[in-house]
Every structure is written in structure tokens, then in C-alpha cells.
């Protein structure tokens, strides 16, 4: 699940993963969990996350690789927030290849920047996430356009299927847009 901060990719990924009956692997949630537990990784990641930057690739890659080694990941996972840089994507492709696996599909949620800013500042009031400040957000958008957007180009160049989904609308409608697109590609998705 690919998309800018505030695009709703976390919400959609968890709904779609349920319907695909595979684990939802969310890099941001996993990192926040490390921060909450006060692990070495969490201590290193926290200031970077709060500033809206990216946690170093090697740390994130190690965390995701460990997750993919867990047994419930054997039948596939829905990745959310990873890969977020081209080097992460290249490493992921290698990690999957040794498992005889590959990225089956990229779902790209598209939301205009203005709408993203409104949504995130609203979320800041509700959830109080420590990176949902005006400054953290501005940085995350810059990082997204600079470092993350090229990931899509990477997958386009290696011929991975990319499904572009309009991310503006209500939550159920967007889920149905994604489910419909997956079904068109012969991927079986349960109806609720």
C-alpha cells in the first residue's frame, strides 16, 4: 500500500489485509511500538520520526525482514509504509526473491497535498501523534516527494502491476475501489 502521509493508507491497509486474510505489516506502527517499548531501535527512531525524517534504511530493513520471517507471513503480507525509499525497495525485492516471492501489486493511493495537510492536522487533534505537527508534516511531505515517490517509478520500471486509486472519498468507498481493482486482477478478496 503506497501513498503519502495522511492518504489513509494505514486505515485502508488494515481493512484490505483483513479481507485478503493476510497480516498487515505497517512500518510506522512497528516503529511506534519500538518507541513505546523503549528498545534501542525505538530510541534511535523517535527523534527522527518526530522531525518527519526517515529512519535509516538498514534499521527498517532489519525490522521488516524479521517480521517476514514470522510464520504468519509465509502466505504473503500487505506492506504499509515500506518500502519508502528506492534502496528499501531494491532490498525488499531481494529479500522476497530468496523466499521465492515477489511484490504482486502496488496499490497507490492518490490524495492532493492540500487535502493531506487538512487531514493530518485534524488527526493531530484526535490522536496526538508526536509527528503530526505542522513542521513534522511539512517535512514528511518533502521527504515523500523526494525519497518515496521514486519507489513507484522503481516498481514501474521492473514491471510490477501498479493500481492507482483515488484516495478522496469516504473510507468504505475507497476500500471498495481497492477491492474492485484487486478482483479485476484475479486476486480473491472476501466480501466483508
Q: How far is the CB of 191 from ligand ADP (least distance, A)?
A: 28
- How many whole angstroms separate alpha carbon 79 and alpha carbon 1? 6
Q: Cα(192)–Cα(186) distance, rounded to whole angstroms?
A: 17
Q: Residue 58's CB: how many other CB atoms inside 10 A?
A: 11
* Per-residue 3-state assignment (H helix, E strand, C coil) for 1-14: CECCCCCCHHHHHH
Q: Interface with ligand ADP includes 25 (CB under 6 A)? A: no
Residues between 51 and 90 that touch ligand ADP (CB under 6 A)? 52-55, 60, 81-82, 84, 88
For residue 22, the minimal CB distance to ligand ADP (Å) is 18
- Residue 6 in the binding site for ligand ADP (CB under 6 A): yes
Judged by CB under 6 A, does residue 5 bind ligand ADP?
Answer: yes
Nearer to ligand ADP, 49 or 174 (CB): 49
Q: Is 57 exposed, middle or buried (0-12, 13-18, 19+ CB in 10 A)?
A: middle
CB of 54 to ligand ADP, least distance (A): 4
> Quick check: 177 binds ligand ADP (CB under 6 A)?
no
SS (H, E, C) 49-78: HHCCCCCCHHHHHHHHHHHHCCHHHCCCCE
User: In the complex, which residues of this chain contact ligand ADP (CB under 6 A)?
Assistant: 5-6, 27-28, 31, 48-49, 52-55, 60, 81-82, 84, 88, 131, 140
Amino acid at each position: 500500500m503506497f501513498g503519502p502521509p495522511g492518504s489513509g493508507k494505514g486505515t485502508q491497509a488494515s481493512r484490505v489485509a483483513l479481507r485478503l486474510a493476510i497480516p498487515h505489516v505497517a512500518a510506522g506502527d512497528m516503529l511506534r511500538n519500538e518507541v513505546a517499548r523503549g528498545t534501542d531501535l525505538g530510541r534511535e527512531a523517535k527523534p527522527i520520526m518526530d522531525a518527519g525524517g526517515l529512519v535509516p534504511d538498514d534499521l527498517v530493513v532489519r525490522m521488516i525482514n524479521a517480521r517476514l520471517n514470522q510464520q504468519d507471513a509465509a502466505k504473503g503480507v500487505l506492506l504499509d509504509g515500506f518500502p519508502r525509499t528506492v534502496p528499501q525497495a531494491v532490498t525488499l525485492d531481494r529479500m522476497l526473491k530468496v523466499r521465492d516471492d515477489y511484490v504482486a501489486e502496488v496499490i497507490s493511493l492518490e490524495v492532493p497535498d492540500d487535502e493531506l495537510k487538512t487531514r493530518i492536522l485534524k488527526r493531530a487533534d484526535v490522536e496526538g501523534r508526536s509527528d503530526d505537527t505542522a513542521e513534522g508534516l511539512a517535512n514528511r511531505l518533502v521527504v515523500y516527494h523526494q525519497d518515496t515517490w521514486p519507489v513507484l517509478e522503481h516498481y514501474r520500471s521492473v514491471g510490477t502491476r501498479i493500481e492507482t486509486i483515488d484516495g478522496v472519498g469516504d473510507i468504505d468507498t475507497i476500500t471498495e475501489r481497492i477491492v474492485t481493482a484487486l478482483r479485476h486482477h484475479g486476486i480473491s478478496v472476501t466480501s466483508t
